[in-house]
Amino acid sequence: CISSAIESDCAPLGGLIQDVLSRTKEIHVMRDPTRGGLATTLNEIAVQSNIGIVLDEHVLPVRDEVRGVCEILGMDPLYMANEGKMVIIVPETSAELVLDILKSHSLGKDSCIIGNVTDNHKGRVVLKTVTGGTRIVDMLTGDQLPRIC
């Protein structure tokens, strides 16, 4: 039996999104990473926009409880559904402004910059690992975990 204090991350983001959109028009992409998690969402963006995306593993906001359960079950947290979260891609010059807006809202207090867009690796997502290596983060094939709503 696995027990943990993991709680649902469902959250109404309408107010947070409105705060961002009312203060900047520099949003390139805004997506909900529910199905397929962060990895699948970013892969879809990379392919559709013909860009490369580089993630920094050491700054990814994965709670210790989630990481632990994923390790036990052999799952990758990058592919876990995230409800009540969002991915926003903005020009580098607007990143700090958008981050400040997000952090000023109760639902965005844990927001962070997790990577960058690059002309390298077009159509791919690459992860810079905590050990100093890199790996390609592919699209999720199949369902890692059934959706429960």
Domain parsing of the chain, residue ranges: 14-50+64-114
Q: How far apart are CA 52 and CA 119, in angstroms?
A: 6
pLDDT tier, 141 (very low <50, low <70, confident <90, very high otherwise): confident
The pLDDT tens digits for 30-78 are 998 888 899 999 999 999 999 999 999 999 988 888 888 889 988 899 9
80 confidence band (pLDDT: 50, 70, 90)? confident
H or E element, residue 100: helix 95-103
The pLDDT of residue 14 is 86
Query: What phi and psi, each to the nearest 5 degrees, are found at residue 30?
Result: -140, 120
> Which residue in 24, 142, 34, 10 sits closest to 94, CA to CA?
24
Give per-residue pLDDT as tens, 4-16.
Answer: 565 656 767 888 9
Task: Quote the CA–CA distance of 108 and 78 in Å, as a whole number.
Answer: 19
14-50+64-114: CATH architecture: Alpha-Beta Complex (3.90)
Q: In residues, how long is the chain?
A: 149
Q: Residue 2 — pLDDT band, cuts 50, 70, 90? A: low
